Amino acid sequence: MNKRQIAVLGGGSFGTILANIVAGNGHNVYLWVRDKAQAQAINETHLNSRYMPDYSLHENLKATTDLHTAVSGSEMIIISLPSSAFVSVVTAMAAYLTPEQLLVSTTKGVVPGGFELMSHALKKVIQGQPIGVLSGPNLAKEIAKHMPTATVIASESSELRTRVQALLATDYFRVYASNDMFGVELGGALKNIYAIISGLAAALGMGENTSSMLMTRSLAEMSRFAVCLGANPMTFIGLAGVGDLIATCMSPLSRNYRVGYALGQGGSLEDIVNELGEVAEGVNTLKLVKHQADELGVYMPLMNGLYQVLFNNLSVADAADALMKSDQSSDVEFVLPREL
């Protein structure tokens, strides 16, 4: 490909990784961050010491705090921000966009204040722009070590899918395509809830039987909820569904897993989140999914049990007991419908 200009909004772990991959592929990249000291340090040391201290950054990558500088002239803008900051930054960015620029969200969460995914927020704020979402089992610290990794770009635009695949392709990072943007995005958001449950179970010394039960029943809940909202259930047997769920539910590198593990060791939710120092999207997503599932009447016993433990002081033992004593049902309801 010819040399291109790309912008990545968000200087966290994953945003830094994606920016560096694109820069390493020979393109000019602006990495937008809020903190001037962070931007200056990145440009002087070629390191993001706050999030990726041992990861050398390519000379084609330049950090900036000026949103106009980052966005103007960039053929693609990759948005890798916490859900809490997503709408405000996108709204500010909208004034600098031209119709041909491609927008890609990597944010795995739900917009606060209602059940709205990032693609929906983008379409509301920026109309007519080609939009995609990138999601999958992408633990940033493993990608930084060039461990073979794959992800999914989902979009209604075949041009956008092809362009993202070309920009991010390396011998250690592979990008698969999907047109189920909603399903891919829901998979990335929902799995964070179940990573907390898996971390909690691990801290309590549960075995492999329990772990496999939790992950497969988590997948059943995720797909049940997503299909109710219009997603394709087949998406959940791919990287953005079961792939991301496995990685997040099994790895201490996952922030949400670490929240669950610390809870299982007796920590308070507030102290754990403050100590983590990075956003654990699962806590916020849990509240929003609980409200939406209740409104829609979607059966999600694992999600509901975690909600009761975190916010209504239910003991983990009582939550587990309620789960094991709940009504028997079918395994895969797309094969044998669940009896209500």
191 is catalytic: yes
Tell me: do 100 and 249 sit in the same domain: no
Q: Which of 62, 108, 141, 191 is catalytic?
A: 191
Tell me: do 159 and 252 sit in the same domain: no
Tell me: do 80 and 225 sit in the same domain: no
Q: What is the mean pLDDT of residues 92-111?
A: 93
The bridge status of strand 28-32 relative to strand 76-79 is: unpaired
Q: What is the mean pLDDT of residues 232-250?
A: 95
User: What CATH number corresponds to the domain at position 269?
Assistant: 1.10.1040.10
What integer pLDDT is reported at residue 65 of this predicted model? 98
Tell me: do 226 and 245 sit in the same domain: yes
310 domain residue, yes or no: yes
340 domain residue, yes or no: no
Residue 111 has pLDDT above 90, yes or no: no
Please give the share of the chain, as a percent, with pLDDT higher than 90: 78
Tell me: do 155 and 41 sit in the same domain: yes
Q: Measure the CA–CA gap between 120 and 126, rounded to whole angstroms.
A: 10
- Pick the last residue of a domain from 179, 199, 223: 179
333 domain residue, yes or no: no
Domain that holds residue 208: 183-324
pLDDT confidence band for 277 (50 / 70 / 90): low
Q: Measure the CA–CA gap between 156 and 140, rounded to whole angstroms.
A: 26
Tell me: do 188 and 281 sit in the same domain: yes
Q: Is the pTM for the entire model greater than 0.85?
A: yes
How many domains would you assign to the chain? 2
199 domain residue, yes or no: yes
Tell me: do 163 and 236 sit in the same domain: no
- Pick the last residue of a domain from 179, 194, 227: 179
Residue 239 has pLDDT above 90, yes or no: yes
Tell me: do 175 and 187 sit in the same domain: no
Tell me: do 11 and 132 sit in the same domain: yes
User: Nearest Cα to 105, choosing from 129, 85, 122?
Assistant: 122
337 domain residue, yes or no: no
3-state secondary structure at position 23: helix
329 domain residue, yes or no: no
- Pick the last residue of a domain from 163, 179, 195: 179
Q: What is the pLDDT of residues 243-269, one digit of tens each?
A: 999 999 999 988 899 999 999 998 888
What integer pLDDT is reported at residue 54 of this predicted model? 93
339 domain residue, yes or no: no
Tell me: do 127 and 232 sit in the same domain: no
Q: Measure the CA–CA gap between 226 and 161, rounded to whole angstroms.
A: 22
Q: Is the dihedral of CA 81, 86, 91, 92 positive or negative?
A: negative
Q: Measure the CA–CA gap between 288 and 8, rounded to whole angstroms.
A: 27
Tell me: do 220 and 283 sit in the same domain: yes
Tell me: do 12 and 161 sit in the same domain: yes
User: Nearest Cα to 119, choosing from 180, 176, 175, 166?
Assistant: 180
Token couple for 114: 């209602």
- If you average pLDDT over every residue of the chain, what do you get? 92
Please give the share of the chain, as a percent, with pLDDT higher than 70: 98
Q: What is the pLDDT of residues 136-186, one digit of tens each?
A: 999 999 999 999 999 999 999 999 999 999 999 999 999 999 999 999 999
User: What CATH number corresponds to the domain at position 104?
Assistant: 3.40.50.720
103 domain residue, yes or no: yes
Q: What is the mean pLDDT of residues 47-71?
A: 96
What integer pLDDT is reported at residue 1 of this predicted model? 57
Residue 216 has pLDDT above 80, yes or no: yes
Residue 340 has pLDDT above 80, yes or no: no
